[in-house]
Amino acid sequence: MPSKLAISYHLVTKSFGPLRAVDDVSLDIAEGEFVAIVGGSGSGKTTLLRLANRLIEADRGAITIEGHEVQSVDPVALRRRIGYVFQAGGLFPHLSVADNIGITPRLLGTPTADIATRVDELLELVQLDRDAHRDRLPEALSGGQRQRVGVARALAARPRIVLMDEPFGALDPLTRDALGDDYRSLHRKLGLTTVMITHDMTEAILLADRIAVMRGGKLLAQGTPAELSKSEDAYVLELLRTPRRQVERLNALLPTSGAA
């Protein structure tokens, strides 16, 4: 495990009124790691993610990004340094694909010509045809294409850390699979640190190096899929059983191609 920490949560708590959305959570994410935070709705996983770039402020505890306490950094500068992929894209409907992708460099004052070059690079990186998509509005794109643009936008300012909020949740299974694989290879190629939240354990197992399981604001367990399977927590084990059961059922229902 690499020694340098990209993100570190230390005894972090965040309440919304009487509800403890995140309850004394500690979690370290190393540089270059791909971590999935898994949990149901209301588990606090989204809150935990947003605490990292200060879309939400913590009540207690310390969060550091690349060694710096987030409270000591200007939140706007912090967010420009961290890529963020929103659920269902979160693209601005009044801006073209190119303008959406180029938004963070533009905010950082990058010259227009450089932004245009970068946009073309990114379109290629997320495998979208440059001429066909550059000037389109988001409404003219399919769900998968929108999420590719969302990923490109998150990467535009060359962040080392990318946060993803259920990025592939709303996509059809084929697109979802392709996009997951494509992102995984980008993660590796660009040496990113990625934190992705998902409610889908299968997706987490297939994409992430390490998985953190949340429930009711608590971090129940963290580790590689193999480590998790040794957990004694019933909920964690139940979460892990589900994909296995699905596989078994699928194997029973579908004749394995190429099998004798």
Partner 1 sequence: MSLLADPRWGEALAHLPDYLGNHVRVSLAALALGLAVSLPLAILTRNRPAPRAILLAIASIVQTVPGLALLALFYPLLLLAASVTLAWFGVSFSAFGFLPAMLALALYSMLPVLRNGITGLNGIDPALIEAAKGVGMTARQSLLMVELPLALPVMMAGIRTAAVWVIGTATLSTPIGQTSLGNYIFAGLQTQNWVFVLFGCFASALLALAVDQLLGLIEAGLRHRSHARSALGAAGIAALVAATLVPSMGRSSQGYVVGAKTFAEQYVLSALLRDRLQTAGLSATARSGLGSSVIFQALKAGDIDLYVDYSGTLWANQLHRTDIKPRAELVAELKTALAKDNITLLGELGFENAYALVMPKKRAEALGIRTIADLAAHAASLSIAGDYEFFSRPEWAALQKAYGLTFRAQRQMQPDFMYAAVASGEVDVIAGYTSDGLIAKYDLVALEDPRHAIPPYDAILLLAPKRAGDERLQAALEPLLGKIDIATMREANLRASGNDANSSPDAVARWLWEKVGGR
Q: What is the DSSP letter of 89?
A: B
**Least gap, CB of 130 to partner 1 (angstroms):** 21
Confirm if 90 and 33 have CB atoms less than 8 A apart: no
Q: Give me the residues that bind partner 1 (CB under 8 A), please.
A: 53, 55, 76-77, 79-80, 84, 86-88, 90-94, 103-104, 107-108, 137, 153, 157
Whichever of 137 and 237 has its CB closer to partner 1, that residue is: 137
| Alpha-carbon dihedral angle through residues 155, 158, 159, 163, given to the nearest 10 degrees | 0
**Least gap, CB of 135 to partner 1 (angstroms):** 11
Residue 63, H or E segment? strand 60-65
What is residue 168's three-state secondary structure?
Answer: coil
**Least gap, CB of 171 to partner 1 (angstroms):** 17
Structure-token pair, residue 233: 């927590």
Whichever of 114 and 233 has its CB closer to partner 1, that residue is: 114
b/e code 98-131 from CB counts within 10 Å (16+ = b): bbbbbbbbeeeebeeeebeebbeebbebbebeee
Whichever of 44 and 159 has its CB closer to partner 1, that residue is: 159
**Least gap, CB of 153 to partner 1 (angstroms):** 7
Whichever of 55 and 206 has its CB closer to partner 1, that residue is: 55
What is residue 243's three-state secondary structure?
Answer: helix
The whole-angstrom separation of Cα 34 and Cα 204 is 10
Whichever of 77 and 252 has its CB closer to partner 1, that residue is: 77
- Say how far residue 229 (Cα) sits from the centre of its chain: 23
Whichever of 19 and 108 has its CB closer to partner 1, that residue is: 108
Strands 82-85 and 68-69: unpaired
Whichever of 135 and 181 has its CB closer to partner 1, that residue is: 135
**Least gap, CB of 28 to partner 1 (angstroms):** 23
What is residue 45's three-state secondary structure?
Answer: helix
| Alpha-carbon dihedral angle through residues 248, 250, 253, 257, given to the nearest 10 degrees | -110
The whole-angstrom separation of Cα 61 and Cα 58 is 7
The whole-angstrom separation of Cα 118 and Cα 53 is 24
